[in-house]
Amino acid sequence: MKLESSAFETGKVIPRKYGYKHGNFSPPLQISEIPERTKSLVLIMDDPDAMGAVGKVWIHWVLWNISPYTKEIFENLVPDGSIEGKTDFDEIGYGGPAPPDKEHTYIFKLYALDEILNLKQNSTKEEVEESMKQHIIDKAKLEGKFAP
């Protein structure tokens, strides 16, 4: 399975307009090579570098029940039928990069599952991860950098 973006290459700089304080648009994401028996996809975006600044991995986006037929998550749109969860900004939906101290690496993680998750919209990353634990078929990731 592959996860890519037309807005930035893996390991490169995420454009400013995708930052929390600079437009807060979710970036376009392209998905390919989804395993055949996939029933749903999950996308989690987090900032492990926040551990040094705020003492924990900061959650920026939690999106689940994405159709396995989804080939692209368009800029600033959520695929029909998918559900967004709560971020560490205490908001539902995408919260772009917002490093408080220095350049951070942001990781978009995509999971192919063998089931559709039965969770409410305000669910957290921890609840999604617990629910999908025994159902991951494949995973992919995309990393980008962002400085204050």
The predicted-structure confidence for 24-79, as pLDDT tens digits, reads as follows 999 999 999 999 999 999 999 999 999 888 899 999 999 999 999 999 999 999 99
99-112 mean pLDDT: 96
Q: Where are the domains of the chain?
A: 2-146
pTM above 0.85, yes or no: yes
Q: Regarding the domain delimited by 2-146, which CATH topology (the fold level of the hierarchy) does it fall under?
A: Phosphatidylethanolamine-binding Protein (3.90.280)
C-alpha closest to that of 27 among 42, 47, 44, 5: 5
Rounded-to-integer distance, Cα 22 and Cα 78, Å: 19
Find, among 93, 97, 96, 85, the residue nearest to 127 by Cα. 85
Confidence at 130, pLDDT banded by 50, 70, 90: very high
Answer yes or no: are the C-beta atoms of 79 and 43 closer than 8 Å: no
Which of 75, 42, 80 has its CA nearest to residue 61? 42
